[in-house]
Amino acid sequence: MYAKLKDRSERSPFMKKLYEAYRKDQPQFYTSKSTLSFSKDKSIYQFLEAGKLPVSFLSSDPWVTIKSTVQHDFNTDSVVALKEVYDENFVIKDKKQDIIWKITTETREIAGYQCRRANGLILDSIYVVAFYADEIVPAGGPESFSGLPGMILGVAIPHENVTWFATKVEIDKPLPATPPKLPKKVEEVSRSEYEASLKKSTKNWGEWGEDAMKAFML
């Protein structure tokens, strides 16, 4: 949170004062919890528990408020995602998100698994670092991240100061008996239709709108 606010503090003296005040009594990190259940054929990513919201305008930051449910079918490479964007719900049905990956030789241990690093580019320009375990066969991951030869257990978007990391992996535990229920009376849209709707809603938000688009599209 300090890093995100520091980036914005350089834009105006007012934001600099907010940054200095925030650092005095607010936590450096905001942490939320989620689960990723998977089999060889599908995965279900669900938002589980929100952390304590920062006491400032950052409590409405898109990277803090976004809550997603993502169902991935590995056989068809299709995704059904429920996105809660402030007070509006979207159900997106489309092919999986395209990510250009380059696998490296770097490794690190995550949740007891030796993982290999891959650098990626998503949404044309967002730099992503991922760590995947080739011991876990499904090529899935948290949110809409996938496409590596193993399960992604760690993701970082360095320029946005956001990370996803597995804290525990449970093997041979059954998937939820029923998939998450999608809200009634919410029309399914493609990713491009969802993007068009977001652009229309955020067109007058300036730089804040650009940040919001990145969070909501991922």
The more confidently predicted of residues 29 and 102 is 102
Contact 51, 30 (CB under 8 A): yes
What percentage of the chain carries pLDDT values higher than 90? 49
Across the range 33-50, mean pLDDT stands at 89
pLDDT exceeds cutoff 60 at 177: no
For 64, other C-beta atoms within 10 Å of its C-beta total 18
From residue 14, how far is each of 1, 9, 22, 61 by CA, in Å? 17, 8, 12, 18
pTM metric for this prediction: 0.89
Show the tokens assigned to 89.
């719900």
| Nearest C-alpha neighbor of 190 from the set 67, 122, 96, 65 | 96
Give me the residue spans of the domains in the chain. 31-217
The more confidently predicted of residues 64 and 159 is 159
* Residue 19 φ/ψ, nearest 5 degrees: -60, -45
Band of residue 178 on the pLDDT scale cut at 50, 70, 90: low
